[in-house]
Amino acid sequence: MLENLTITGVAAEGKAIARHNDMVVFVSFGAPGDVVDVRIKKVQRRHVEADIIHFHQQSDLRSQPFCEHFGVCGGCKWQHLDYQEQLKYKQQQVTDNLQRIGQVDYPYETLPILGSESIQHYRNKLEYTFAEKRWLSPEEIRHAESITDQEALGFHIPGFFDKVLDIRKCWLQPEPSNSIRLAVKEFALTNNMSFYNFREKAGHLRNIIIRNNQKEELMVILVCSSGDEEKRDGLLNHIRDTFPQVTSLHYMLNDKKNDSTSDLDAVLFHGSPFITEEMEGLQFRIGPKSFYQTNSRQAYELYKVTRDFAGLTGRELVYDLYTGTGTIALFVASEADRVVGIEYVEEAIADARENADHNQLTNLTFTAGDMSKVLTDAFMQKNGFPHVIITDPPRAGMHPDVIRKIILSGADRVVYVSCNPATQARDIELMAAKYKVVKARAVDMFPHTQHVESVVLLERKR
């Protein structure tokens, strides 16, 4: 145990920071200004991780968590921090990474972070997991003989593949998300449907995914093992009849030992095969496996920043790398001469082409393939050398070969959108010989979490 530690800051991983002699102490659910006693739970070479066991003084920056599951389910780790303080530390995270990892020196323009208008019920997609045996609190374990409700429909406990917390109310997605989950669980229990057992790899019900859009349409995808068709269809009919807002109802059959659905076919059970999201008159069709930013309203703000940084005049050839379903490509197409989108996932490119056709946009082309293999000199000779590159890679950042091709492309401007400011800064440092950072803006897509989006404009050095 360490006593009378003063919390001084917040780390990028979401934990608070204190120091004991020369040792860094990462503290779960601490706030800057707390004075605490902690119990060490993990010792590393350069730091320790600890939990608070006693408060001598609580920080003025603390906020009362609103969720009964806070601290257990693993989501919304910053509910105990005032939202304006969350934004402050997210902004600091982006700035620190650019300077320490990216070696970016001033002067460059740092625009204020864009906070989310909604800090509850902001997600348009949640996935819940069925479990035959739910996670039990220490108190419940002490009285395990009296536990009768073993099944769970909720979220995995962090670090445990077989521990699922039964969720009573989640604040991430608007109603009727909670009502659907609770109704599904009640129907399944009443009709003796088996929940998944992670150790035995058996059980019929595995996951349920709920998607919504700003028009309050709903898509529900039930993931279960094959067999028990009568019970499966009974549950799907119950969802359809109880929640008429569900305009798109699907199921997937998963007999594998993992929960991935990317390789599964979605079967339409009722309604439309997709729901539709809109931005500035553009319509984006979202299917069961389509990628779409999970905070719809804030995605619009992110894309506006991206388009503004691109500085388009209508004459530019734009490359949109890691285009996904083409959302950014479509969003900037009206202000560009032509847009070329590249994405690894072939199904995403099929969605991008469909979205372009649906919106009657003819100045876009999309290519599927490994970015490091597609983005070649021959590809740019064929499609034209870009004036502007927009890149929005996964959390791991860009392959060094992709960075080299960006440098060799001769693009005047690169707009780098990232959900991981650390890997973004690493890649920017690799581009420093040819590109300078001109402008940066953080965008908060996920309130009450440590995650932040970062948009950086780079211009070619003359």
In a shared domain, residues 343 and 207: no
**Last residue of one domain, picked from the residues 216, 242, 274:** 274
Range 224-233, long-range pairs (CB < 8 A, 24+ positions): 224/251, 224/252, 224/253, 224/254, 225/253, 225/254, 225/255, 226/253, 226/255, 228/193, 228/204, 231/191, 231/193, 231/204, 232/204, 233/269
pLDDT grade for 51, boundaries at 50, 70 and 90:
very high
Average of per-residue pLDDT across 237-255: 97
Q: Could you give the residue ranges of the DSSP H alpha helices within 64-176?
A: 83-100, 138-142
What pLDDT is recorded for position 144?
66
Q: Which of 67, 76, 170, 419 is catalytic?
A: 419
Cis status of the peptide bond prior to 107, with omega within 30 of 0:
yes
Which run of H or of E encompasses 372? helix 371-374
In a shared domain, residues 115 and 129: no
Per residue in 80-108, pLDDT (tens digit) is: 999 999 999 999 999 999 999 999 987 89
**Last residue of one domain, picked from the residues 274, 307, 339:** 274
Q: Which residues contact 54 (CB under 8 A, 6 or more apart)?
A: 36, 37
In a shared domain, residues 317 and 246: no
Average of per-residue pLDDT across 8-21: 87
Does 264 have pLDDT greater than 80? yes
Is 280 a domain residue? no
CATH number at residue 39: 2.40.50.140
Does 139 have pLDDT greater than 80? no
Q: pTM of the full predicted structure?
A: 0.92
Is 75 a domain residue? no
Domains in the chain, number? 3
Is 282 a domain residue? no
Containing domain of residue 418, as a range? 85-119+295-460
In a shared domain, residues 110 and 138: no
In a shared domain, residues 324 and 388: yes
Query: Do the beta carbons of residue 371 and residue 342 sit within 8 Å?
Result: yes
In a shared domain, residues 453 and 312: yes
What pLDDT is recorded for position 122?
97
Give me the residue label for tokens 């991008």.
Answer: 352
CATH number at residue 335: 3.40.50.150
pLDDT grade for 16, boundaries at 50, 70 and 90:
very high
Is 70 a domain residue? no
Is 288 a domain residue? no
Which residue, among 195, 202, 105, 114, has the nearest Cα to 149 in the 3D structure?
Answer: 195
| Structure-block tokens of residue 261 | 């659905």
Strand 317-321 to strand 338-343: parallel, antiparallel, or no bridges (unpaired)?
parallel
Does 210 have pLDDT greater than 80? yes
Is 345 a domain residue? yes
What pLDDT is recorded for position 145?
66
In a shared domain, residues 137 and 154: yes
What pLDDT is recorded for position 18?
93
What pLDDT is recorded for position 148?
72
Does 156 have pLDDT greater than 90? yes
Is 192 a domain residue? yes
What pLDDT is recorded for position 32?
94
Query: Do the beta carbons of residue 134 and residue 148 sit within 8 Å?
Result: no
Per residue in 298-339, pLDDT (tens digit) is: 999 999 999 999 999 999 999 999 999 999 999 999 999 999
Round the average pLDDT of the chain to a whole number and report it: 94
In a shared domain, residues 302 and 385: yes
* Catalytic residue list contains 419: yes
Biggest alpha carbon distance in the chain? Answer: 74
In a shared domain, residues 136 and 257: yes
| Structure-block tokens of residue 460 | 């070619």
Does 137 have pLDDT greater than 80? no
Query: Do the beta carbons of residue 67 and residue 61 sit within 8 Å?
Result: no
Describe the strand order of the beta sheet including 152-156 as a list of residue ranges: 164-166, 152-156, 125-131, 205-212, 218-224, 246-253, 266-271
Does 439 have pLDDT greater than 70? yes
In a shared domain, residues 219 and 350: no
Query: Do the beta carbons of residue 418 and residue 390 sit within 8 Å?
Result: no
In a shared domain, residues 89 and 193: no
CATH number at residue 164: 2.40.50.1070
Does 109 have pLDDT greater than 70? yes
Average of per-residue pLDDT across 212-239: 96
Is 286 a domain residue? no
In a shared domain, residues 256 and 356: no
